[in-house]
Structure 1
Amino acid sequence: MANKVKQIHEFGQSIWLDFIDREIISSGKLQKLIDEDGVRGVTSNPAIFEKAITSSSDYDTDIKEFGKTAKTTEELFFELAVKDIQAAADLFSGVYNGAVKGADGYVSLEVSPFLALDAEGTAKQAVELWEKVDRENVMIKIPGTKPGLKAIRESIAHGININVTLLFGLQRYEEVTEAYIAGLEDHLAAGHNIEHISSVASFFLSRIDVMVDPLLDEKGLGELKGEVAIASAKKAYEIYKRVFSSERWKALEAKGAKPQRLLWASTSSKNPAFKDTKYVEALIGPDTVDTVPLETIEAFRDHGIAADTLMLGLEQATETLQRVKAAGINLDEITQKLEDEGIDKFNKPFEKLLKAIEDQKNKA
């Protein structure tokens, strides 16, 4: 029987794993996901690393060793993370160097969440991490905050692959595409080639519905529960199609530029009433990425349905967002709140992680 996760790739979408730790790399499990499920990349974030490092003794030796030279606990964390990212990037080098070099096979490492509102600090650390990992197929993750836009443009202009994270709203997503295109133009104007630069824009899904669904009940729009995030994603894809078919884009494409793919994030169902593969099934389509937790990959392998769904129901998606707006639900305010909360959701585990590393380092 055909592998259902692998079938998604037939519709032009790449599945990336939203998880990393040393055990999955060293045990061969990650290689198995590449071989059997067709997984084509990995994303990480502070919360994932917090879980990996605090729930395992796999990092204890390196904490002791790196702790001798690291000036700060944050520096020590990045030493640990870079080692994992390099190992994963090496596993995906075959995918990266496939039929079309650079089409896939990326592993993402995020800048410090403490820098989410610091454009200068983010751009500086993006360069440092890019050089430290020293792999063609790494992506540095930068939050798509207002200050983040400047850092994204600067980083692309520096020739760095960027995964823009923490996107919830359509207007901000369009601003991110502008930052990417402007960054490519800057890199080209400085006399460099641009065909090696790759980027994704990570649009977060289920968190939108977690916040909007209770409001829908209050407004008598209960039948739209679980549909607003998907409708927003479909509208984001419309923006993607428009932006990356413009004359401005075609001029860059002629020089070898790759479109900045949309990446669906936060794809596990938070509401137990929803099918656990709901957000994956609804948004399968060409030139996109879906980063999926391990349990969702396993669920899809078992009972997911792979079909070309992304361009279906576009009129319905437009109508859903119009009805939400007409009911007085301000999605711009909600998506800004989600961005603010998202920063906090990465800051807290990062603080916990740094404390755990510090405690481990200080053990006799």
Structure 2
Amino acid sequence: VGSVASLFISRWDRAIVDEVPEALHNRLGITIGLKAYKAYADLINSPRWQRALNFGARPQRLLWASTGSKDPNASDVLYITSLASPFTVNTMPEQTLNAFADHGEVGDALPVDGGDSESLLNEFTQAGVDNQALAARLQKEGAESFVKSWNELMEVITTKSESLVQAD
């Protein structure tokens, strides 16, 4: 069974844009991606997981979501070029896909050792960002958003089903 673990990248940056110096804008989401990719690589490369692979297990993939740039001062393909790496999936808005097709280039793959993610996270901490609290907040907001969307979808299906029954 194939599956993904989703990280909503630009939400991290949007959540703190007014709280950090401009030099840190549009960097937290990618930093979180770096840290997640390191944890992913550590797991996939572990002896335990390698044994599971030998028995046919399929690794879950990281899915980068919310990868359209929301900052008009940033590249419209910022998150795509920064996060393209083996064993990842990227969902992107059509506008971002078209921009990448027009002028995007795949950058270097994310380093499996996490690169400079720890020092970057320290910069955010020094700027007053509580990454754990922010993670909890974003997870809560994301779950609420998905529940709302699900309920709206169910309402549309119910309404459409009722109208079809009445049409008979």
Report the TM-score when normalising by structure 2.
Answer: 0.86
The correspondence of residues 1-364 of structure 1 with structure 2, limited to 5 A, is 161=1, 198-216=2-20, 221-311=21-111, 314-363=114-163
Which whole-Å CA distance do the structure 2 matches of 1:306 and 1:312 have between them?
A: 17
Taking a change above 3 Å as real, the CA distance of residues 335 and 254 of structure 1, as seen in their structure-2 partners, is same
Deviations 1:229-261 (A, max 9, x none): 101101111111111111211221221223222
Deviation of residue 360 (structure 1)?
A: 3.3
Unaligned runs of 5+ in 1: 1-160, 162-197
Deviation of residue 208 (structure 1)?
A: 0.9
Please say if residues 76 and 99 of structure 2, whose CA atoms lie closer than 8 Å, have aligned partners that are also in contact: yes
Deviations 1:57-79 (A, max 9, x none): xxxxxxxxxxxxxxxxxxxxxxx
For residue 42 of structure 1, what is the aligned residue in structure 2? none
Please say if residues 203 and 265 of structure 1, whose CA atoms lie closer than 8 Å, have aligned partners that are also in contact: yes
Deviations 1:24-45 (A, max 9, x none): xxxxxxxxxxxxxxxxxxxxxx
Residue identity opposite 1:308 in structure 2: D
Identity of aligned residues (%): 35
Please say if residues 281 and 309 of structure 1, whose CA atoms lie closer than 8 Å, have aligned partners that are also in contact: no
For residue 192 of structure 1, what is the aligned residue in structure 2? none
Deviation of residue 307 (structure 1)?
A: 2.8
Please say if residues 38 and 113 of structure 2, whose CA atoms lie closer than 8 Å, have aligned partners that are also in contact: no
For residue 8 of structure 1, what is the aligned residue in structure 2? none
3-state SS of paired residue (2:119): helix
Which whole-Å CA distance do the structure 1 matches of 2:157 and 2:54 have between them?
A: 48
Quote the RMSD (CA, aligned, Å): 2.1
Deviation of residue 315 (structure 1)?
A: 4.1
Deviation of residue 318 (structure 1)?
A: 2.2
Please say if residues 77 and 99 of structure 2, whose CA atoms lie closer than 8 Å, have aligned partners that are also in contact: yes
Question: What is the number of residues matched between the two proteins?
Answer: 164
Deviation of residue 311 (structure 1)?
A: 2.3
Taking a change above 3 Å as real, the CA distance of residues 356 and 286 of structure 1, as seen in their structure-2 partners, is closer
Taking a change above 3 Å as real, the CA distance of residues 247 and 199 of structure 1, as seen in their structure-2 partners, is same
3-state SS of paired residue (2:18): helix
Please say if residues 65 and 90 of structure 2, whose CA atoms lie closer than 8 Å, have aligned partners that are also in contact: yes
Deviation of residue 313 (structure 1)?
A: 10
Which whole-Å CA distance do the structure 1 matches of 2:112 and 2:55 have between them?
A: 32
Report the TM-score when normalising by structure 1.
Answer: 0.42
Which whole-Å CA distance do the structure 2 matches of 1:295 and 1:314 have between them?
A: 29
Which whole-Å CA distance do the structure 2 matches of 1:313 and 1:241 have between them?
A: 8
The structure with higher relative contact order (CA 8 Å, sep 6+) is 2
Residue identity opposite 2:16 in structure 1: V
Which whole-Å CA distance do the structure 2 matches of 1:227 and 1:283 have between them?
A: 12
Taking a change above 3 Å as real, the CA distance of residues 303 and 293 of structure 1, as seen in their structure-2 partners, is same
Deviation of residue 200 (structure 1)?
A: 2.0
Please say if residues 200 and 260 of structure 1, whose CA atoms lie closer than 8 Å, have aligned partners that are also in contact: yes
Deviation of residue 330 (structure 1)?
A: 0.8
Which whole-Å CA distance do the structure 2 matches of 1:313 and 1:236 have between them?
A: 10
